[in-house]
């Protein structure tokens, strides 16, 4: 699907406002995320594959922070279990307005319902798969442990959480070098220095990233018995956690 090109930060902005998932972002989102996250397509496809392996008959699947539904679409294509519904939740009206049509445009046997809600407030029903692809980083840090616990409690035995996050590194030298490698990735994908620096300023207060160790400790503290990192490129990483 070809989508409009992201040029939101291409012209100089006097005061760079905090990043928000508004209409302008939703419009260009597929282009923005695929030019910004190394391996995004691989991550999404693999999350679909893992959902296919772990989906249980007659159980729900959640996609928390579904944006335009890329992960829901991948799961819809891979899940063969019977009596499954995928529920995508996002609190951006601009995303939700577009998401259902995006998801419906792809074939698949599994029904997908998109809801506009805050995943911190939303109660979760028993489920076999929960996908959180780059969403935890936008949740207030002090609310993350309770959210992971809520996910763990909702998962059926043998259920799986699929988590992807941008991470930071305690070692300042390592962190600076890895951030630079990511910026080089963005340059190679056509983002200018101005776009990179203005986006960085816009997102600084909105996206507060943890270290990989913090993420793993939180998963284990919630009760997950298997916590495994399966993807890493620069500061972008994915885990599966099995109950």
The footprint of ligand GEK (CB under 6 A) covers 21, 33, 44, 65-67, 70-71, 89-92, 95, 118-120, 133-135, 138-139
Distance between CA atoms of residues 221 and 212, nearest Å: 14
State the nearest-atom distance from the C-beta of 200 to ligand GEK, in Å. Answer: 13
Instruction: Give the residue at shortest CB distance from ligand GEK.
Output: 65
Nearer to ligand GEK, 16 or 57 (CB): 16
State the nearest-atom distance from the C-beta of 37 to ligand GEK, in Å. Answer: 7
Per the document, the length of the chain is: 243
State the nearest-atom distance from the C-beta of 56 to ligand GEK, in Å. Answer: 22
Nearer to ligand GEK, 119 or 130 (CB): 119
Nearer to ligand GEK, 6 or 90 (CB): 90
CB 84 within 8 A of CB 156: no
Distance between CA atoms of residues 48 and 42, nearest Å: 10
Judged by DSSP in three states, 177 sits in helix
Nearer to ligand GEK, 119 or 222 (CB): 119
State the nearest-atom distance from the C-beta of 84 to ligand GEK, in Å. Answer: 19
- Give 77: exposed, middle or buried? Use CB within 10 Å, 0-12, 13-18, 19+: middle
Place of tokens 């944006």: 67
> What is the phi/psi pair of residue 156, to 5°?
-75, 160
């Amino acid at each position: 699907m070809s989508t409009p090109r992201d040029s939101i930060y291409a012209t100089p902005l006097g005061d760079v406002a905090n990043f928000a998932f508004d209409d302008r972002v939703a419009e260009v989102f597929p282009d923005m995320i695929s030019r910004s996250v190394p391996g995004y397509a691989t991550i999404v496809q693999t999350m679909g594959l893992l959902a296919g392996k772990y989906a249980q008959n007659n159980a729900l699947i959640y996609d928390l922070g579904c944006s335009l539904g890329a992960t829901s679409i991948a799961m819809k294509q891979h899940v063969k279990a019977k009596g499954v519904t995928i529920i995508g939740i996002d609190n951006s009206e601009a995303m939700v307005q577009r998401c259902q049509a995006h998801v419906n445009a792809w074939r698949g046997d599994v029904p997908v319902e998109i809801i506009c809600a805050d995943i911190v407030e939303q109660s979760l029903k028993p489920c076999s798969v929960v996908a959180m692809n780059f969403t935890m980083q936008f949740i207030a840090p002090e609310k993350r442990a309770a959210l992971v616990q809520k996910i763990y409690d909702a998962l059926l035995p043998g259920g799986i959480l699929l988590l992807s996050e941008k991470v930071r590194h305690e070692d300042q030298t390592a962190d600076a070098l890895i951030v630079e490698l990511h910026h080089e990735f963005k340059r190679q994908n056509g983002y200018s220095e101005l776009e990179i620096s203005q986006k960085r300023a816009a997102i600084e207060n909105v996206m507060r990233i943890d270290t990989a160790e913090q993420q793993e400790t939180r998963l284990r503290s919630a009760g997950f018995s298997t916590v495994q990192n399966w993807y890493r490129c620069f500061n972008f990483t994915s885990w599966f956690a099995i109950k």
